[in-house]
Amino acid sequence: MSFVSLGGDAGLRPTFFELVAAEKLMPSLKAAVLYSLSVYAQRRPALHRLLDKEDELLFLLSVLLDRQALATSGGSFAEGLYGLRRAPVASGTSSSAGSRQPLSSTERSMSLILLTLVPFLRSKLDALFHRQQQQQRQQSQPTPWHQQQAPAAQRGGARSGDAPQLQQRWRIAAARAFVLLYPWLVAGHEGARFAYQLLYLLGRTPYYSPGLHLLGLEVVRVTGQEAMQQEQERQRRRSERLSRLAAPQAGPWLWRLLRRSWARAGHLAADHTRSTLILAVFAFKLLEWWYSSAEQRLGDPKALPPPPPPPPLPPVGVEAGGVQLPGDVSACPLCRRRRTNPAMLATSGYVFCYPCIHREVEQAGCCPVTHAPARLEHVRRLYQGT
C-alpha cells in the first residue's frame, strides 16, 4: 500500500495519536471540574445548583478557554497544549510552512462553534433521547388492573377537548420519531468521524474530522519561528494595553493604577492557566486511581454475604381453585408428567413445563399454584449444565 504525501513539510503534520490525545483532553478536564465541584459541594450545598447545570457550566468553560486559545495561538485549548494550531488548506492540499496564513475572524468563530456549541447540543440531545426512551418504556408497560376501570368516565369527558388531544398526539408522534431517528443520526456522525480518522491515519486526507473539512482547515504543528512570533505579538498587545491604561486620558491616577494592576493579574493568570489545568487533570486522574484501588482493597474483605431468599409463597389449595402439587418433585404440577423443557415462574418460584406454564399464564395471568399475578416475561427458562 502506498501513502500519499499531503504537504510540503511532512514533519509539520501531527500524528494521529497526538490528535487523539488532544481530543481526549477536554473530557478529562470536564470530569476533573465536576469531581472537584461534587467534593466541594459536600461542604457548600449551594454548589449543587451548579452541578444541576453541569452542561451549561462546562459549555461556558469551553467557550472561555477555546476562545482565548483561538485568539492567541490559532488552535483550540487542547491543541495548543500539544503545540498544534489550525491553518487553512489551499486547493485541498496542505500549504508549506512559510505560506501558512493565520485564521481569519470567520474561521475562528466557526471553529469556536464547532468546538463548544456542537458538543453542548449533542449532550442535550443525548439527555432528551434517554428521557423520551424511558418514558416510552414506561408507557409500553401494561396498566395494573385496578387502574384500568377508573378512566371510563374520564374517556367520555375527554371527547370535548379534541384540540388538546390532537396536540398530545402530535407530541407523542414527534417523540417517537425522534427516538427512532436519533440513533441513526448519531451512527452516521460517528461513522463519518471514523472514516475521516482512518483516512487521516492512512495519509489520504489532511482533514482529521468532518468539521475541519467543512471549514477547510487542517491541524499543523507550531514551528519555533511561529511560537516566537506569537509570543512577540502577545507581548506587544500587552504593552500597548498597559500604555493606554497608563495614559493621563484614562482617568485619575488611582483608577489607572487599579486598572493596570487588574490587567497584570489577568496576564499572569493567562500565562499560568495551562499549567494549572494540566496539573488539575493529572491530580484528578491520580486521585481517581488512588481512591478506586483503596476502596477495592477495603471493600473486598468486608463484603457482606448476600441476604437469604424470601420464604416461598404457600399454595392456595384445591378448595380455592389452585393446583395441587404432585408428590414427585420432578413432575409438572399442571400436566402431572415428568417435566420437559422446565421453566420457572419468577413471581412464585415453582417450576413447570415451559408449554404448560406459558399457556396458563397467557390465559389466567397468574400462578396456578399460588394465584400470584404473573406475566409472560416472568416465565424463565431453566437450563441444566453439563
Q: Which of 88, 124, 315, 316 is nearest to 207 (CA)?
A: 88
Tens digit of each residue's pLDDT (9 = 90 or more) over 207-250: 999 999 999 999 988 877 776 776 677 778 778 877 877 777 77
Assigned CATH for 316-386: 3.30.40.10
pLDDT given for residue 121 in this prediction? 93
Domain ranges of the chain: 10-139+170-222, 316-386
Mean pLDDT of the chain: 78
What is the spatial distance between Cα 40 and Cα 61, in angstroms, rounded to a whole number? 18
pTM of the model: 0.58
Tens digit of each residue's pLDDT (9 = 90 or more) over 325-378: 888 888 999 999 988 889 999 888 899 999 999 999 999 889 998 888 999 999
pLDDT given for residue 141 in this prediction? 64
Confidence band of 143 (pLDDT split at 50, 70, 90): low
Q: How large is the average pLDDT for residues 296-324?
A: 73
What is the spatial distance between Cα 246 and Cα 256, in angstroms, rounded to a whole number? 6
**When comparing pLDDT for 24 and 310, which is higher?**
24
Q: Of 5-19, 142-156, 329-343, where does mean pLDDT reach its minimum?
A: 142-156
pLDDT given for residue 198 in this prediction? 92
Residue 315 in this model has a pLDDT that exceeds 60 = yes
Look at phi and psi of residue 317 and say left if phi exceeds 0, alpha if psi is from -120 to 50, else beta: left
Confidence band of 46 (pLDDT split at 50, 70, 90): confident
Q: How large is the average pLDDT for residues 147-172?
A: 62
Residue 220, class by beta-carbon neighbours within 10 Å (0-12 exposed, 13-18 middle, 19+ buried)?
buried
**When comparing pLDDT for 375 and 146, which is higher?**
375
- Which residues neighbour 57 within 8 Å (Cβ) at sequence distance 6 or greater? 33, 50
Confidence band of 117 (pLDDT split at 50, 70, 90): very high
pLDDT given for residue 353 in this prediction? 92
What is the spatial distance between Cα 16 and Cα 18, in angstroms, rounded to a whole number? 5
Angle of the 16-40 helix axis to the 253-299 helix axis, nearest 10: 90
Percent of the chain with pLDDT strictly greater than 90: 20
pLDDT given for residue 277 in this prediction? 66
